[in-house]
Chains A and B, each alone.
Chain A
Amino acid sequence: MSNCALKASELEVIRGGKAVLTGMSFEIKQGEVFALLGGNGAGKSTTLLTFMGLLKPTRGVAEVMGQSAAEQPDAVRSQIAYLPESAALYDHLTAWENLTYFLSLSQCRPEPKALSDALDAVSLPVESRGKPLKSYSKGMRQKVAIALALLRETPVLLLDEPTSGLDPSAVEDFHDIIERLASNGVTILMVTHDLYGACQVANRVGILRAGQLVDVFEADADGNIEINTVRDLFLQQQVA
């Protein structure tokens, strides 16, 4: 695959003496949205941490844009924007201040208009933007975190339970953003419990169980994934 953005080859990761990933392999093309579904402890977050170079595999390789995350973590991270589940930004700073501070970490100096556009894109109310995040709901914080990911303008986006805690309207907005990014060539790896959301937005959905990718479902020509089949297998894996 020549236009491969993310690649896991025989990935094995041990955390706290326990094998969390046990020889997982997959590839994600540039501009593709790939959702990893799995229960608690299946290895979803570990997969993301390994691609970010924050965990080193005991065996195998995690590559981002052709570079090994374990061997060239700085270079890999410059290609990645990450959206954590808890949208852990600074509560005492406003949305503007959070975005400006985090972007300064990646040596970016954002224009006010770019910040404004990003916050518009996630539909954060204008009157909230100058208030500290401690006054925000979880969904609003998540929107700020998504805005940060947008502003990074990286070719790869890693999402950890991105719709957790969002109301249905915010989830719809989020899916729109994901589709827009993908159409612009951004590669997205999303780990989630949200079966329906994953099937709605992803080009492919993988089922992760005990550190192994047990099945992958691909969208048809219309972009749809057979949700019932995925659900059955997912639930089956959960029970197993």
Chain B
Amino acid sequence: MNLNFRIQQEFFFLLKSKAVLGVMTLLLIMSGVSVVLGLNYVAAERQEIVELIQLDTEERAHKRTLAYDYGGAAYDAFHAAWNPPSDLTFAAIGQRDLNPTLMRIRALAIEGQIYETDSINPELALAGRFDFAFVAAYLLPLVIVFVFYDLLAAERESGRLNLLTVTAQNARSLWSIRILLRFIGVLIAVLLPLWIGMSVEGASVGLMLSATLAITLEAVFWTALVLVIATRPNFRSETIAAISVGTWIVLTLAIPIAGKVYIESSVTGIKGSEVALVQRESVNDAWDLPKSVTMDAFYASHPEWANSAPLHEEWHWKWYYAFHQVGDEMAAGLAQEYRATMLARDELTARFSLLSPAVAIQRRLEALAQTNLSASLAFEDQVRDYHEEIRRAYYPVLFEEVPFSKERLAQIAIPDFSESAGLDSE
């Protein structure tokens, strides 16, 4: 009963501490705003996906009514490919700002189609997006600093510490409940909007627990760090505040910036646009080459079509698609190199995250939300596989030179991206 009374009194004391309560409320508001913005973002993305699928379907159907050969039909047929937001994307938008999540692809060379959109919104990427991960990485530690920095010093400086210690009989019973209640208050302020957002998104309990655990561990780290500084016996409150904020600057700003500079200088590599450029140049050059050069290269890597009728001087779609495919193959090595560069940078970033809780929590939330580099690369792979399905659907009629008919064209069935990628149809 006395413990309950003690907790009740400490809770009452917290409610009377206007500054602490105010900063917790501010955190709640910031977290809430980030969640609302995130939910709006994913709702807009989902709406965009739905609209794109519908428009693409309508456009493809219309274009097929106008088609008079298979190559032209394939050329005009765009297929939507999308990386659907997960139940936690609203909280950690991550790489979705940088890498494409929505594409319209067709049977032409794929590498250009992927990398021509590799930097959707560079201005926004520069400023950074205000999402829950930002609140957790940058604002949560500052709130913890504010809530805990003068916990002890304020009592010492006001002359209350001795009275408190003697009355409570020991420091443990004096501080444990006050620290615990403040910690829980901070956690609720930051997590409540996240929980509501995840409930709205229909996230699983497991995902909720994982996200909660990640945030809790981050909060424990910062609380412990601030308390280690705050309980130094001779530090005044302003000294504690200065050291705590200085530590925040080092861990959340200086180390990530230094890491970025180090990673960019130590892991150099090509850009996605260079992959697209090589592929485009290969395609452009092919117009000026003898057709046999392109076709020999194509048949060498695709012997299944080697028995196709020889080409003559006149235009033929199978030559056109062959040089697109050869263009992809010319750029394949560079695409792998680009991917290896990104993975190497990502691995180094993971190492830097051991020094910076801000980087660590962002990476963890992005991993849970499937908005990290791995998820982007997995989406690229799905798009490549889907593109291969599109090619395979058209190549037989092109290389076997099947006479064109609307009925035969209608038989060329290309699955929806969600089927191809095994996405939840919802």
Q: Which residues of A contact B (CB under 8 A)?
A: 49, 52, 54, 73-74, 77-78, 80-82, 84-86, 88-90, 92-93, 97, 100-109, 145, 148, 152
Expressed in whole angstroms, the minimum distance between the Cβ of B162 and any Cβ of chain A is 6
A54 to B165, CA, bound (A): 9
- Besides A77-B167, A103-B167, 15 more A-B contacts (Cβ < 8 Å) are A52-B162, A52-B166, A77-B169, A78-B169, A80-B166, A82-B166, A82-B167, A84-B160, A85-B159, A88-B159, A89-B160, A102-B163, A104-B10, A107-B2, A109-B2
Could you list 16 A-B pairs, sorted by A, with CB under 8 Å? A52-B162, A52-B165, A52-B166, A77-B166, A78-B169, A80-B166, A86-B159, A88-B160, A88-B163, A93-B16, A97-B12, A104-B6, A104-B10, A105-B164, A107-B2, A107-B6
| Most chain A beta-carbon neighbours within 10 Å: one of B2, B8, B18, B163 | B163
- Contacts A54-B162, A86-B159, A88-B160 given: A105-B6 contact, CB under 8 Å? yes
Give bound CA distance, A93 to B14, whole Å: 11
Q: Interface digits, B1-40 against A, CB 8 Å rule (1 contact, 0 not)?
A: 1110110111011001110000000000000000000000
Residues of chain B lying within 8 A (CB to CB) of residue A84: 159-160, 162-163
Least distance between B165 CB and chain A CB atoms (Å): 7
B174 within 8 A of A: yes
Q: CA–CA, A78 to B163, complex, Å? A: 12
Query: Is B307 an interface position by the 8 A CB rule?
Result: no
Q: How far is the CA of A93 from the CA of B163 in the complex (A)?
A: 16
Are A102 and B167 closer than 8 Å at their CB atoms? yes
Q: Please judge, given known A-B contacts A104-B6, A105-B173, A109-B5, whether A82 and B168 are in contact too, CB under 8 Å.
A: no
Check if B266 is an interface residue, CB within 8 A of chain A.
no
B1 to chain A, nearest CB (A): 7
Which of B12, B16, B165, B167 is packed against the most chain A CB atoms within 10 Å?
A: B167
Instruction: Tell me how many residue pairs across A and B have CB atoms closer than 8 Å.
Output: 77
- Closest CB-CB distance, B125 to chain A, in whole Å? 46
Say yes or no: A49-B162 contact (C-beta < 8 A), given A102-B167, A109-B2, A109-B5. yes
Option from B18, B159, B167 in Cβ contact (under 8 Å) with A106: B167
Give the complex CA separation of A135 and B163 in angstroms. 21
Q: Is the CB of A152 within 8 A of B162?
A: no
Residue on A nearest B9 in the bound complex, by CB: A104
**B1–A109 contact, CB under 8 A?**
yes
CA distance A74 to B164 in the complex (A): 13
